[in-house]
């Protein structure tokens, strides 16, 4: 099984599991062994699923402002958890390729494997929810047809992204490409770098 196929399998499993309760407060029940790559992939998609629904909730025009601020704080934390997990998954690939002899003409990719996998996880959610729209019985034919067209584009995008991810991993393993992990320096989360926060000291 290619790595992208493993990702798709686990991402779909996580997405379906999330939608059993369909609640941002649902308790995750990760079925994979702790600290395995499968465990991290499942967790990655679960965080993305929660984030997806956070973004739906906060767009409610009638949301209570106090609750909206609380939700914004949860979204901020979720974003940080997502970033930390992507970097952890990249560390897995770095460790896996540490013995590879990098060729003298090897090049670096525009994004790391884990950030491409991050996009694949979110694509799973887009496909799942667009399929829901296609399957609805309370909409017009126009709505159905537009959603079906979008679904087909998303499925094509998923296929292309899977191919690109697998090719990137093959190139890294063969020494044709090398990777680096640049920590996401989110200044607004750092009290020493966010002027609104350090000005209050």
Which residues is 178 bridged to in the sheet?
108
Residue range 160-178: mean pLDDT, rounded: 97
- Give a yes or no: residue 91 inside a domain: yes
- Give a yes or no: residue 197 inside a domain: no
- Which residue reads 């979008």 in tokens? 150
pLDDT of 182: 75
Opening angle at CA 94, ends 168 and 182, nearest 5? 90
In angstroms, the CA 201 to CA 197 distance is 7
- Give a yes or no: residue 195 inside a domain: no
Which residues is 108 bridged to in the sheet?
178
- Give a yes or no: residue 201 inside a domain: no
Q: Which letter does DSSP use for residue 32 in this model?
A: S
Domain span at 158:
3-190
pLDDT tens track for 43-76: 999 999 999 999 999 999 999 999 999 999 999 9
In angstroms, the CA 94 to CA 83 distance is 17
Residue range 175-189: mean pLDDT, rounded: 78
Q: What is the mean pLDDT of the chain?
A: 93
In angstroms, the CA 167 to CA 183 distance is 24
- Give a yes or no: residue 200 inside a domain: no
For residue 142 the two structure tokens come to: 């126009």
pTM beyond 0.85: yes
Opening angle at CA 27, ends 56 and 33, nearest 5? 120
- Give a yes or no: residue 130 inside a domain: yes
Please name which of 170, 42, 34, 180 lies closest in space to residue 115, comparing C-alpha atoms. 180
Provide the domain count of the chain.
1
pLDDT of 189: 64
Residue range 23-28: mean pLDDT, rounded: 96
pLDDT of 192: 73
Residue range 137-157: mean pLDDT, rounded: 97
């Amino acid at each position: 099984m290619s790595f992208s196929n493993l990702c798709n399998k686990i991402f779909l499993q996580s997405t379906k599991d999330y939608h059993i309760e369909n609640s941002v407060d649902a308790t995750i029940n990760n079925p994979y062994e702790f600290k395995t790559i499968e465990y991290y992939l499942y967790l990655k998609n679960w965080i993305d699923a929660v984030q997806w629904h956070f973004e739906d909730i906060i767009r409610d025009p009638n949301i209570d402002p106090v609750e909206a601020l609380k939700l914004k704080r949860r979204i901020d934390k979720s974003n940080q958890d997502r970033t930390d997990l992507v970097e952890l998954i990249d560390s897995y690939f770095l460790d896996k390729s540490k013995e590879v002899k990098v060729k003298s003409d090897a090049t670096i990719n525009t994004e790391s494997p884990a950030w491409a996998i991050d996009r694949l996880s979110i694509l799973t959610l887009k496909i799942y929810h667009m399929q829901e729209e296609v399957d609805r019985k309370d909409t017009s034919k126009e709505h159905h047809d537009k959603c079906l067209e979008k679904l087909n584009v998303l499925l094509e995008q998923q296929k292309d992204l899977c191919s690109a991810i697998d090719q990137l991993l093959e190139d890294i393993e063969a020494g044709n490409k090398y990777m680096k992990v640049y920590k996401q320096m989110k200044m607004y989360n750092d009290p020493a770098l966010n002027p609104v926060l350090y000005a209050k000291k």
